[in-house]
Structure 1
C-alpha cells in the first residue's frame, strides 16, 4: 500500500476538568495514571505500530487527540514523541503531525519542545474568547491565554495552527460570536473549525437541559450564527472544505480528511478507533483494562460488528458528503462494484431538484443549502437492508 495513504491517531484520555458539553472518552483527576499510560502507549506503538509501518511504510499523518494531550507533563510527552518518531518516522518528519492543546495547559518551553520533536501543527481548543462563556461551558482557560498561546506557538516556529470555536452555547449572543470570530481572525490561524453545540447524553449540559436549567439561544439565533460564519469566513480567505472546517488554501487538515475519504488509520490508546483493511476496531475504553492488556502482551482492541453492505455504503456516503468535494462516483464504483444510481438514482434526482445536491457526473456534493440541512440529506441516504 502507498505509504501516503494511511494515518495514525493517538488518544490521550486525560483532562484537567471535564467540559460540560463533552462526551469524548476522557477523564479528569487521573494524574496517577499518566506514567503507566504513557508506557502502555509506547509499548502498543512498538508492537502494533511496527507491524503496520513494515506493511505500509511511513504514515502521512500523525494526530494526538483527547482529552487534552498537552496536559501530559513534558517528560511523558517527550517519551511518547520519541517512540512515535522511532517507529513511524525514520527520517524524523511527518507530512502532518498534529497535537491538540488547551491554551490553559501550555507555556513557551512546552511548545518549543513539541516543535523540536517533529510536531508541525497545533490545534487549539479555544471555543470562545469570551471569559464568561468559557466559564459557563467548563473551560479552564480564558481568552487572553488563548491569544498568548497562539503568540507563543508562532515564536517557537509553528506555521500551521488551527483554532476551534463553538456556537449555540448557553447564553451566547450573535454579537459575542462575531467578536470571537474577529479575535480568531486577528491571530491569522491557517485553519478554523467551528462546531455547533450538541447536547450529548451523559454530559452535564444534557442533564441541565432535562432539568430545564440550560438557557440556549433560540433556533433563529443559532441559524443566524451559522449563516454568519459560513458566509463571513470564506470572504476572509478561509475556504470551507468540510461542513465544520475552514482553511486557507493548502492548510486543510490532512488527517481529518483521511477519515472522510475512506483512508485507513491506526488508532493507539484507550478508546481509540482504527480502520484497517476494511475492518473497524475499537480499543478498550477503561484505562485499567487497556493497560492490563498491554502488560499481558494482548492487543487491547476488539473488532466492531462487521458492517453489512448497506451500512458500508451509507457510511461511505455520509463521510464523503461532509466534504466540499463530495462523493466520488469513481471511488464508489471501485469500492462497491456498482454505480451509485443503482441505489440512489431517485434520491439524487430528488435532492438535486430541491437544490440540496449537485451531481456533475464525477462527484455528488452538497450545495451550501444542503450543508445547512445536512441531516435531512443524510437521512435520504439510508438504505433498506432487504435490498441486499
Structure 2
C-alpha cells in the first residue's frame, strides 16, 4: 500500500514575520528531549504502520526549520528513520533554511539517506529578507544551494514569495532570475497571506504594512507563472513548478488521497479516511510520549459530504484535476451527479475545462482557484 511519512521539527532560529506555522524560536533547551521523544514515536508508531502497510513511499521532514537542530540530533533522527524504513526510498526530503547548514551538515544529510532538499529562500533581495524576518541573506542562500549541489544533491527545491511588503516587480524578476541561474529542479511560488497572530498581522492593524496593490501582486503572479514554464519548470500544482520528473512525490500524495503518518508535535496525519492532529505544545508532546499517553486527537469525524468536498478541492489543485473515475470509485456515485451543474457553471466562466474524464482548472482557474474551490462546497 502506498503511504507517506511527515516528521515535524517545531524549532526555528527566529520566527518569520509572516509565519503562523507551529514553530518556536528560543527553545533550544528542549531540542535534545524532543529528539528523544520523536525517535521513540518513530520506533513505536512508525514500525507499527510499517508492519501494517509495508515501507512508506516518501518521507518528508518539515517545520519550523529542521536544520535548526544540531547536526548530531538530526543524524539521530535520520538513523532512526533509516532503521524504521529498512532501505533507501525514492524520495526523502528535508526542509533547510540558508544560514542553518554548512558543507558538513549537508554531507551528513546525504550520507543518511536524504535525497531531496527544500530551501526556504523566499527572495534573493537582502532588504526584503530583512523586512520579512529571515535570518539569512542572498549570499548565504546562493552558497547553501551551491554546497548542496557539491554534496551530491541532484533534487533541490526552493521557495519564492511574491506580494511581499514594498516588493517591486523588478525585485521579483531579479529573484526569479537568480533561482533560474542556480539550476535547481523544483521551484515553489507562494503569494503572501497575512495570517492572524503573526508580526505582519499586527503591523497591518497598526497601518505599518505596505503591501503591493492587488494589481501589482497579480502582475507578479502572471510573471512567475509565465516565465517558469519557458525555462523548463512545468506547473503540476497550484504553487509548484518542476523540471520534468522532479515533481514532489510526497506533496502529490496529499492531493491524491494517499494516507500519511505525521510524527512529532503538531504533526497531522491522514489515516483510513480520518485526519488527526498531535498536540502542538513541545513540552506536552515530550511528556505524553514518555508517559505513553495518547498525543493525537481526531480533528473531526468526517462526513460523506465533507469527504467529497475535500477530495475535489485537493485533486483540483493539480494539473490533472479531478478524475471522474477516481471520484466514482471512492464514493460509488458519478462526479456528474454530484457536481455536474457546478462544473458546467465554472466551465462557462472559463475557470474549468470539463470532459468525460472529469475536470481541471484552466489557466484562469489556477489564478482564481479559491473561487473555484468555494463552488465545490456542497449545500
Return the TM-score normalized by structure 2.
0.99
Shift in Å, 1:68: 0.1
Matched, 1:136 2:151: no
1:265–1:274 contact (8 Å) kept in structure 2: yes
Decide whether the 8 Å contact of 1:325 with 1:363 is kept in 2: no
User: Is 1:350 the equivalent of 2:323?
Assistant: no
Between the aligned partners of 1:265 and 1:364, the Cα distance in structure 2 is 26
Pairing 1:253–2:248 present:
yes
4+ long deviations beyond 6 Å: none
Are 1:304 and 2:299 an aligned pair?
yes
Question: Which residue matches 1:27?
Answer: 24
Measured in 1, the distance between the counterparts of 2:342 and 2:91 equals: 37
- Tell me the distance in 2 between the aligned counterparts of 1:216 and 1:6: 40
1:181 aligned residue: 176
CA distance in 2, matches of 1:353, 1:215: 37
Residue number in structure 1 paired with 2:329: 334
- 1:244 corresponding residue in structure 2: 239
Contact (CA 8 Å) 2:58, 2:249: kept in 1 or not?
yes
| Native 8 Å contact 2:335 2:358 kept in 1 | no
Tell me by how many angstroms 1:298 deviates.
2.1
Aligned residue among 17, 41, 66 for 2:63? 66
Unaligned runs of 5+ in 2: none
Partner of 1:17: 14
**Residues 4-63 of structure 1: CA distance to partner in whole angstroms, max 9, x if unpaired?**
x10000000000000000000000000000000000000000110011001111111000
Pairs within 5 Å for 1:365-384: 365-384=360-379
Residue in 2 that maps onto 1:207: 202
Distance 1:151 1:123 in 2: 13
> 1:308: Cα distance to partner?
1.4
1:20–1:205 Cα contact (<8 Å) kept = yes
Q: Distance in 1 between matches of 2:13 and 2:145?
A: 20
CA deviation after TM superposition for structure 1 residue 383, in Å: 0.6
* Number of residue pairs matched by the alignment: 379
Tell me how far apart the structure 2 counterparts of residues 200 and 249 of structure 1 sit (CA, whole Å): 33
Tell me if the contact between 1:329 and 1:362 (Cα under 8 Å) persists in the aligned partners: yes
What secondary structure, in the 3-state scheme, does the structure 1 residue paired with 2:76 have?
helix
Alpha-carbon distance between aligned partners in 2 of 1:158 and 1:288, rounded to the nearest angstrom: 34
Check if 1:83 corresponds to 2:74: no
Aligned with 2:95 (options 87, 100, 110): 100
Are the equivalent residues in 2 in contact too, given 1:111–1:152 (CA < 8 A)? yes
Taking the aligned partners of 2:5 and 2:333, their CA distance within structure 1 comes to 31
Structure 1: unaligned runs, 5 residues or longer? none
Alignment of 1:221-300 (within 5 A): 221-300=216-295
Instruction: Kindly state the Cα deviation for residue 249 of structure 1 after the two structures are TM-superposed.
Output: 0.4
How far did residue 354 of structure 1 move?
1.5
Secondary structure of the 2:99 match is helix
TM-score by length of 1: 0.97
Structure-2 separation of matches of 1:188 and 1:194 = 16
Contact conserved, 2:12 with 2:25, CA < 8 A, in 1? Answer: yes
Q: 1:7 corresponds to which residue?
A: 4
2:310 alignment counterpart: 315
Cα RMSD of the aligned pairs, angstroms, is: 0.7
Deviation at 1:321, TM superposition (A): 0.6
2:352 and 2:365 in contact (8 A); partners too? yes
* Cα drift, residue 299 of structure 1: 3.2
